[in-house]
């Protein structure tokens, strides 16, 4: 099974049945730039639950995933796959992307998607503010999801 590349909005999955929208979050509780803005515009729960995750004793660690149901057949997966944040002005700082954490998170998404018979939808995760490259992420998506028979849709606006 291959990845389907589409032009469009990842917050509006183009598939029938259950779906999971996957995106990458940082491990410091900051929500406010990038793809999360499109999520927050459409649903409040992913942001509220993500921020609440950081208020308890057990803070999420790299590779953790939070599954937030936003509609009856639609879930948002907040994957902690970025260590810290990088200022837009500081282009020389190391990229905060953590490929191993994204792999770990996607393996949890695979289990969830298989259990729900859901397709997976995402922007090019880890490649925006996290500073990763699709050349690194695509093989992780293929290994973690499509190799298990999960249909994956990647959206470019």
User: In the chain, where are the structural domains located?
Assistant: 3-156
pLDDT of residue 1: 74
Note whether 23 and 35 are within 8 A (CB).
yes
CA torsion 156-10-76-2 (nearest 10°) is -70
DSSP assigned state of 94:
P
Residue 72 DSSP label: T
The third-level CATH classification (topology) of the domain covering 3-156 is 3.40.220
Per-residue pLDDT of the chain (157 residues; tens, 9 = 90+): 789 999 999 999 998 999 999 999 999 999 999 999 999 999 999 999 999 999 988 889 999 999 999 999 999 999 999 999 987 777 788 999 999 999 999 999 999 999 999 999 999 999 998 999 999 999 999 999 999 999 999 999 8
Q: Which residue has the tokens 């796959």?
A: 81
Q: Using an 8 Å Cβ cutoff, are 23 and 39 in contact?
A: yes
Tokens of 116: 């729900």
In this predicted structure, what is the pLDDT of residue 93? Answer: 85
Identify whether the C-beta of residue 99 lies closer than 8 Å to the C-beta of residue 76: no
């Amino acid at each position: 099974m291959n990845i389907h590349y589409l032009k469009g909005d990842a917050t509006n999955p183009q598939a029938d049945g259950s779906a999971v929208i996957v995106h990458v979050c940082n491990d410091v509780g900051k929500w406010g730039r990038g793809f999360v803005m499109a999520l927050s515009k459409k649903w409040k729960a992913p942001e509220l639950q993500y921020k609440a995750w950081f208020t308890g004793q057990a803070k999420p660690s790299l590779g953790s995933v939070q599954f937030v149901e936003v509609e009856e057949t639609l879930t948002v997966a907040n994957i902690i796959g970025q260590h810290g944040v990088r200022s837009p002005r500081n282009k020389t700082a190391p990229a905060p992307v953590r490929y191993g954490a994204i792999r770990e998170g996607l393996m949890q998404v695979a289990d969830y998607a298989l259990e729900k018979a859901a397709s997976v939808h995402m922007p090019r995760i880890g490649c925006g503010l996290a500073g990763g490259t699709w050349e690194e992420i695509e093989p992780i998506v293929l290994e973690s999801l499509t190799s298990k028979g999960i249909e994956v849709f990647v959206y470019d606006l």
